Amino acid sequence: MSSRWITETLYEQEGLTTAYRADKLLYEENTGQQHLVIFDNPVFGRMMALDGATQVAERDEFIYHEMMTHVPILAHGAAKKVLIIGGGDGGILREAARHKSLEKITMVEIDPAVTEFSKEHLAMVSAGAFDDPRLDLVFADGTVFVAESRESYDVVIVDSTDPVGPGAVLFEESFYRNAKARLAPGGVIVTQNGVPFLQPAELTSTVEKFRRLFAVASCYLATIPTYVGGPMAMGWGTDDTSLTDVPVETLRTRLAAANFETRYYTPEVHKAAFALPRYVQKAFPA
């Protein structure tokens, strides 16, 4: 039997597609919210795609999840409450749960099917984190949650899909404004902002909106092999100007106190991630 190829169509209109050989198809369904497919690939292991865009791959997910999580938490230095918007695969939750200093982790996922199928087929990603007693798992629209909630969080992590389909609302200024209202003083928001080499407009749009809301509106970078086209940008918004430039030695001390090992994140990588190539800087609005 010939293998099926799963095609990523995110950049199809720009003239680029990427295909992954599915040696084993584990699940495929239109959930009512999104088209979801989970399969095994010989290079990247188990993978999940939503609406033609790769969301997570077993062998490189640690890069994205560590950088989305540890950079804001360790930059903050005293976070007690974290809000995750999206992240149904549980990877951000897993990394947040490694910080024993956190008192509460709220995760808001719009589609229960994504979480349930991830628990079953991508259990290595969440690694039991859904059982953490500090977790408050809410199945709801993230835009509605931040608009209606009155709780405050030290860190908000927006682990969204790309700005197409249901994920598009998570890139609107009204969402960012309401998310900021959920931040405690000195808090920070981090967003998934795509690959600037192929999606500069996505980063431009977010930074432009962040500038109207935050004292610091920027991004940092990490290279994740399955997200083709160069390093991925993580949007960064905060009113605490010191969080962008925490000394490496301070980050070392905080990581040592957290007392866990990472596979990608280091204090040095954290610091360097904010050093942006010229073409990324040029994606910022003038």
Q: Which residues are identified as catalytic?
A: 159
The distance between the two most distant Cα atoms of the chain, rounded to a whole number of Å, is 58
For residue 256, CA distances in Å to 33, 81, 109, 234 come to: 41, 20, 31, 24
- Reading the block at residue 238, the tokens are 């905060």
Site of tokens 């490694």: 98
CA distance from start to end of the chain = 54
Side chain identity at residue 101, one-letter code: S
Query: Going along the chain, which residue ranges are E strands?
Result: 4-8, 18-22, 24-30, 35-41, 45-50, 53-57, 81-86, 104-109, 135-139, 153-159, 183-192, 216-222, 232-238
| Parallel, antiparallel or unpaired: strands 153-159 and 216-222 | unpaired
